[in-house]
Structure 1
Amino acid sequence: MYAAVLLFALMCWTATTRADHHQPCRSTNMTGVMSVLAVRNQVKALAPYTYDATNKKLRFQSNSSNPWNATLELDLLVFFEEGILYKIDSKNQSCEKKALQATYHPFALPSNAVFQSRLVFGSASIEGEGLKADIWSIPTPDLKGQSIMSLSMGCIPLSLMHVAEDSMLIFSNMNVEQEIKDPDLLAVPSFCQGLPVEETPEGTVYGFMTEFM
């Protein structure tokens, strides 16, 4: 599986595009479900999320008791614009407040993305069966890797694969609705307010994706 996925990544990275007019698009507000798989160490998360594309805020809540047998329990509130991530423990009414050195994440296409190709998932010959997707490569030197993102024609992220020296993460986006159903999820809980920002160990770069590596 690892080899097959890596081969797909390399094919995308080495593809040449004749459509250099493509510009990175901007995703909309979203509520949906995101799955995360770390291929080598089998870390899994399956979580509902709420994403504010305008203010660049995200709530991601994974529970290990879900039917997918996830191995991670994570409640993350991320303010990408401010460069802050809250790791929330509602049960114990506690919180960690961390600084983001890497603000890259799988819910939006960054401005440095490079268009590679347009693919059809499924059958292009059967009406209503094929899903067109644009494939973009994304350099992420701060996370020591490369990423490949697929987006629908409506600029909804479908999947993202991040390959680094010693890890591979696959994010899949499902059951997407283009709205924020519960804005309160994007507010800092009262027990998290006023906390100091934790220092990042020297020589390391912390980002949203670091929680899954």
Structure 2
Amino acid sequence: MQALLLLTVSLSVLFSVLAQTPHPCKAPPYLEGKLVVLFPEGHTTVFEQFAYDAVEQRIRVVASGKESTHNVFVDRLMFFRERFYYDINYHNQSCVKTPFSADFVPIEIPVDAHHKAQFVLGSLSAPAQGLLVNDWVGSVPKMKANYSMSFTEFGCIPITTLYNVEKMGHFLSSFFDIVIGLENPDIFIPPSFCTSAKLEQRKDGKVVDFFTSLL
């Protein structure tokens, strides 16, 4: 009887939330987690582990995967306020320091995004068997891209993002194992062998932006 009452109350609360209009939200300022990125036409799949600091505007990404038949690996530490990033190679104890011009873009639902749908991942049959998620759509004119992104209703945690970039194609990212907070804040401290690295322009002479640098 108590279990039935608990289920009834829980479902009543959930349905009352479903009846409300979701609003754009911003993820917690400190996050760690993992994601899988699928690049256009499925030729490249990359597994990434990231640390995110929205207060100091820093991101660390360690990515590995396959591009066609080639293995790829990147360890990138990005400082948006200082406008440069390190590509770190522990194998040969070297760093490449590169400038970029992008402003920091927090993990959030843009204020001009349009709410498309609210749904439950999993089941509504019992408490704790489903995850309430909101799906949002919009565009980024500077990137010439349209997006669809799903965030949790509670906590504003990213689930998936899908970008369709003009002349490039679709980029699908799926997030998992997200932890709120930073278990190791030292992850944003570059290794000692990076201290002597000097700023180097990319070989093509172009300054990369935030989106390009992650890709």
| Same fold, TM-score > 0.5, yes or no | yes
- Once residues 206 and 138 of structure 1 are traced to their aligned partners in structure 2, the CA distance between those partners, rounded to angstroms, is 23
SS at match of 1:40: helix
SS at match of 2:187: helix
The answer to whether the 8 Å contact 2:109/2:136 transfers is no
- Once residues 111 and 213 of structure 2 are traced to their aligned partners in structure 1, the CA distance between those partners, rounded to angstroms, is 23
The answer to whether the 8 Å contact 1:43/1:212 transfers is no
- 1:138–1:102: structure 2 CA closer, same or farther, 3 Å change rule? farther
SS at match of 1:72: strand
2:179 aligned with 1:180, yes or no?
Answer: no
> Residue type matched to 1:108 in 2?
I
Using the TM superposition, give the Cα deviation of residue 185 of structure 1 relative to its aligned residue in structure 2, in angstroms: 1.2
Using the TM superposition, give the Cα deviation of residue 211 of structure 1 relative to its aligned residue in structure 2, in angstroms: 4.6
One of 195, 200, 210 as aligned partner of 2:198? 195
Taking only aligned residues, the RMSD between alpha carbons, in angstroms, comes to 3.1
**Partner in structure 2 of residue 78 of structure 1:** 78
- Once residues 203 and 134 of structure 2 are traced to their aligned partners in structure 1, the CA distance between those partners, rounded to angstroms, is 35
**Partner in structure 1 of residue 162 of structure 2:** 161
**Partner in structure 2 of residue 120 of structure 1:** 120
**Partner in structure 2 of residue 27 of structure 1:** 28
**Partner in structure 2 of residue 209 of structure 1:** 211
Using the TM superposition, give the Cα deviation of residue 125 of structure 1 relative to its aligned residue in structure 2, in angstroms: 4.1
- Once residues 84 and 113 of structure 1 are traced to their aligned partners in structure 2, the CA distance between those partners, rounded to angstroms, is 29
**Greater gyration radius:** 2
Gaps of at least 5 residues in structure 2 are: 1-19
> Residue type matched to 2:156 in 1?
C
- Once residues 155 and 24 of structure 1 are traced to their aligned partners in structure 2, the CA distance between those partners, rounded to angstroms, is 6
**TM-score with structure 1 length normalisation?**
0.73
**TM-score with structure 2 length normalisation?**
0.73
**Partner in structure 2 of residue 56 of structure 1:** 57
Gaps of at least 5 residues in structure 1 are: 1-17
Structure 1's consecutive aligned runs of 4 or more residues displaced over 6 angstroms after TM superposition are none
Q: Pick the structure with more strand per residue.
A: 2
**Partner in structure 2 of residue 139 of structure 1:** 139
